[in-house]
Chains A and B, each alone.
Chain A
């Protein structure tokens, strides 16, 4: 899709402002606290 049309732009814009909530980092913290890394 080198020439994005309206639907691709609409979908891209719909997700563009979505930020990961803090809980996404919980998995990393859990692994670290269990001493896996």
Chain B
């Protein structure tokens, strides 16, 4: 079992990219990825993932962390909006430094249903293989391939509709 420092070093960029694809916001993705690594470290010795399974194990945790994060944010935003008028200032600031292509990619991904967003995040943002995606999503490899193909078909339509 590799040292967790090596797991972090090898996968920090990919986990952050996946969180960014799910949340569309850099500060939120940074915090969410930190939460995912904290949860992974806490479980690492207990679960002892083999080197060949460490990515699917880690991204299962990352996926669950983003789901919890989105739920918490929905509650937090609802509470905040009850006490002050909504402003987009923070959102504008958070995307101001994004490269134009990444900004456009996040916009297109963000308009997809949650499952499509997850599949595209695992494949295009995090670089997982189909067997790894299947493991994270709890489906067979062929089903993961078909679901991902459908997600890409939807994002193609999303992009062409916005042109």
Contact = CB atoms under 8 A, between A and B. Distances in A.
Interface of A: 1, 5, 7-8, 10-15, 17-21, 23-28, 30-32, 36-37
Task: Report whether over half of chain B's contact residues are helix, strand or loop; otherwise say mixed.
Answer: helix
- Across chains A and B, which 5 residue pairs bring their CB atoms closest together, nearest first? A27-B38, A27-B34, A20-B16, A11-B124, A14-B105
B31 interface: yes
Contact of B31 (A5, A12, A13, A23): A23
Task: Report whether over half of chain A's contact residues are helix, strand or loop; otherwise say mixed.
Answer: helix
20 contacts: A1-B145, A8-B123, A11-B105, A12-B124, A15-B102, A19-B16, A20-B33, A21-B30, A23-B30, A24-B16, A24-B30, A24-B37, A25-B12, A26-B34, A27-B34, A27-B35, A27-B39, A28-B8, A28-B37, A37-B4
Contact of A7 (B8, B26, B42, B155): B155
Contacts, number: 97
A36 B37 CA distance: 13
- Residue among A7, A8, A23, A32 with the highest chain B CB neighbour number at 10 A: A7
Contacts of A13: 101
A7 B159 CA distance: 9
B6 to A, nearest CB: 12
B134 interface: no
A21 B15 CA distance: 11
